[in-house]
Amino acid sequence: MRIRPLMLALALFFAPLSLAQAQDAGPINGQGVLDAVVAAQGKVVVIDFFASWCKPCLMEIPEFIAARKHYPADKVVFFGISLDQDPGHYDRFVKQTPFNFPVHLADPDILSTFDVKMIPKTIIYDATGQQALNHAGFMPGEMLRQVLDSLLAGGGK
C-alpha cells in the first residue's frame, strides 16, 4: 500500500520533465518549417528563432510560453526553432524549459531560408499563410499580444 503513494509522488515529480521532453520535436529544415506554416492554414503561426546561450532569447521565451497558454491552439500555432549548434546544449535546454509548444533544432539552411541574421527573431504568419511580421530582436510580451490580437481580429499587423 505504501508503494502506490510513492509511485504517485514520483510520477508527479517527473511529469514536468516528461512534458518538456515531449516538446522536443526533432530537427527541422527550412522546407519543413514552410510546410508546417502551410499545414496550419486557417491559424496564425508564430515562429520563434532562439538559442540557449542568447540572453534576450531567455528573457523572451517565458513570454511565448505565456502567450501559448492564453491563445487557443485552434487559433494560434507556436513553433520554437533553436539555432544551437551543439545538440547537447539544445537537449539540456529543452529538457529544463517548460515549453508548451513544439521546439525543433534547426538544420543549417534555416538561417538562409528565413534570413536570420540575429536572434531572437520572430516571424508571424496570418491565417492565410502570409507573413504578417518579421521582427529581429527581443519581442516584449505586450507587443506579441498586440500583433496576435490584431491578426485574430482580422486586422493584419
Q: What is the pLDDT of residues 15-48, one digit of tens each?
A: 343 343 347 788 999 999 999 999 999 999 999 9
Residue 48: partners with Cβ closer than 8 Å, 6 or more residues away: 60, 61, 64, 78, 79, 80, 81, 120, 121, 122
Q: Provide the pLDDT for residue 24.
A: 79
Name the CATH superfamily for 23-152. Answer: Glutaredoxin (3.40.30.10)
At 48-76, the pLDDT tens digits run: 999 999 999 999 999 999 999 999 999 99
- The one-letter amino acid at 12: L
pTM comes to 0.83
